[in-house]
Amino acid sequence: MNTQLSIEVCYALPGAQTLIALSVPAGTTVRQAIEASGIVERHPEIDLTTAKVGVFGKLQPLEAPLADHDRVEIYRPLIVDPKLARQRRVQKTRREGSVEGRRWQHKDSRR
């Protein structure tokens, strides 16, 4: 049985991504993988007491055990509520003259 897990620890910024591949012992937790990766030293803005973390896009507690080939992800806090951001994009598109949400009419049907 393989006692080593091959995992990755990932942290993404708007312009760049840090991805660190590691080999860790079986039974390693999310927290232990993050600490072993040294990613917090590279990105001191990461605060594990408040940051959300996950594995392949699914939120996980820091004490969750990892499986072989897992990718641990450290998420940045949201600056804007996603629903509000989408609403603002739609409003901007409409102000710029988009026909989004309007009923389309064929030129022959306007008689």
Residues 69-98: tens digit of each pLDDT: 999 999 988 777 778 888 888 888 888 876
pLDDT digits (tens, 9 = 90+) for 10-19: 999 888 899 9
Decide the pairing of beta strands 58-59 and 4-12: unpaired
pLDDT digits (tens, 9 = 90+) for 98-110: 665 555 555 555 5
User: What's residue 108's pLDDT?
Assistant: 57
Q: Which CATH superfamily is domain 4-75 in?
A: Beta-grasp domain (3.10.20.30)
Helix (H), strand (E) at residue 3 = none
pTM value?
A: 0.69
Domain segments of the chain as ranges: 4-75
Residues with Cβ < 8 Å from 5, sequence gap 6 or more? 23, 24, 25, 26, 28, 66, 67, 68, 69, 70
